[in-house]
Chains A and B, each alone.
Chain A
Amino acid sequence: MTLKHVFLAALATLAAVTLTAAGPGSGTITGKITYDGTPAKQKPIDMSKEPSCASQHPTPITTETVVTGPGNTLENVVVYISAGAPDEAAPSAPVNFDQKGCQYVPHMLAFQTNQELKISNDDQTSHNIHPLAKINQEWNKSQPPGTPPIIAKYDKAEMIHVKCNIHPWMSGTFAVLKNSHYSVSDKDGNFKLPNLPPGKYTITAWHEPDQEMTQDVEISGSETKTVSFVFKLKPY
């Protein structure tokens, strides 16, 4: 399975590179994230200490450190251009990060350096948002119910683990990236990086807590290339 995937991916890449016709326009990189091995078993979350949240989950939910789909697809992988694309100024539109039912929505949030981050609390309980930044400055703020959103920015690229100390099961990630070419894999493991000008790129796929894979891709025109990543998962 693995070999086949790798072979197909390599073949696709090779084909893409050799068949590329020079020309203007912008290219697209798409692909699918799959995994090999056994993903960690997700544990059920006991929210009984927080009834206002527990009542929002008729069926008990589990942790989200690895979220998989049918066909060994892997969700919540951030795919981005780590080399080859220039740094970009942040878009003016903010990204939203919600606390809902004592969970982070989305679990994996990607955005750009200096882009406005809007953190809201939709719950009837106090949360504290504690992004454990190592490169950026760490901070930790309380957000009781009914308070206005917290607005924040990060000026350095970093994968930041976010947690709420009051509700220790809450866990999420901020992927702070230097350019707008990024995508987070959906439940089918699909990602798409559109609008790429011609050039040589390094594509990085990152999965929490610290798994990272890279591939080099060259875009020479308005073409679509397919790149796939296969993460090796261990059950612990």
Chain B
Amino acid sequence: MHSVDASSLTRKSFRVGPSLLGTFLTFAFLLAVGYPSSAAPLSAIKVHALPAFARKYGLPCSSCHLAWPMLSPFGQAFKDNGYQLGNDRDAPIYQSPAYWPVTFRITPIWHRENETNAGVDSATAPGGQTEASLTTHGFDWSGLDFHTGGTLAKNVSFYVLPSSDNTGAFHFETVMARLDNLAGTTWLNVKLGKFELDNLLSEKRILTLTNVAGVYTNYHYQPLTEVASPGAIPFVFGIGDNQDGLEVMGHSKDDRTRYSVALLSSNDGTPGLPTCRCYATFLTASQAFQVGSLGLQRIGAFDYIGEWPTYYQFTQGGNGVAGTGIGNKSYYRAGLIGQFFIKKYDLTAMYFHSSDNAYLGTGTPANQPLPVGAQKPVWNGGLFESHYTFSPQFILIQRVELVRMSQQAFQIGGGPVYVPGSDEVPSASFGNENVYAIAGRYYPFISSRAGFAFHGEYAFSHQSGASPVTGRNLDFSSLLAGFDFAF
């Protein structure tokens, strides 16, 4: 039971339902009115950029990062080699004994959040609830990350990331060790622990920080109908989340060809016993090639296939016994990615195709009958992110994300508003989502010791039929400016 509750509190996936989403995004307001348990404000900024590595090797940030925290191909190869450059200096014995590989990162900011058509209490409206445009703004800060990582010996690497939200509540975002270059080949590396999936577009290295665009929507999207009914285990999952498991990955020496195969406990990175006795696999493969003076182009594909329990085999005092979830139902996320460089301009395009089993899609325990007309939800997504890197010190970022339901879990009918627990959705486009973001980051200096950036960003999202009272579109916008630094 604890694991289930804890997981719903700590995960960053906020596309659970419109009201919860609102809670996340207007955290300051809602903290004041008593929703502290559900808010994980800005803790989504779990990005990885390690001046500790820069200090170890003396390379400027710009070597490994196109613009930190986003990696350059050189930085990706460094990571794939087990945080090793491949020369004689990789083992810790070559470091000054005083060197300890630790980096912290935090981001003081000012931000303004707006939610249109938010559900608010009303004494006069029928049902006691009406919709209003909520706007909040003020000074704030992100969560704090302590990154430690490096080598324990030549070809044995590790990474530990204690991470807090901005209330100071810590959890472990990453805990892993890795055996690198097994059998003397770059094609075999084994990692064990909790780690970021080998996503070809890393969410932990995202260049946008707002509540709206601080994560990739497509990486966390779940249909709005996935609200657990009584007796069912809530299904929450995102491929952007760090997962617990074992990963085998390999790459060519020049990192042009990469693959990874991960076996994961299907518990979305939650500590403690997994919710169920079930596993998931995540596969990626990609190939890069050079096109004249344009730069390195990469294409790849990924597939995540997993199972999730729908109810508990045993309960104690009405709560499910941890690890005894059964009635496993399957889900998958698959996609293609292309990363294209045209000199200083680069574009990442991703296509997603996803589906959940009908039990998961409708939040129904597998020991109960499905609602009439229930079927598996299917949706497609697109992500287009482009950057213009004027210099190692200045980058502009733009992103468009689209999610389109191609098959709803329930039949279409009923009123204009989706009511959790009913077996109808208002329209075929119910839950479709668009997210737009633009941002700029300026790094006033580049060094091999610390990182500092001015960050400015505006993002808004738009979800069809998701407003709680009228069933209109639910829009969020977020404006953010601040200092992002790491040492």
Q: Are any A and B Cβ atoms less than 8 Å apart in their complex?
A: no
Chain A positions within 8 Å of B, measured between CB atoms, are none
Chain B positions within 8 Å of A, measured between CB atoms, are none
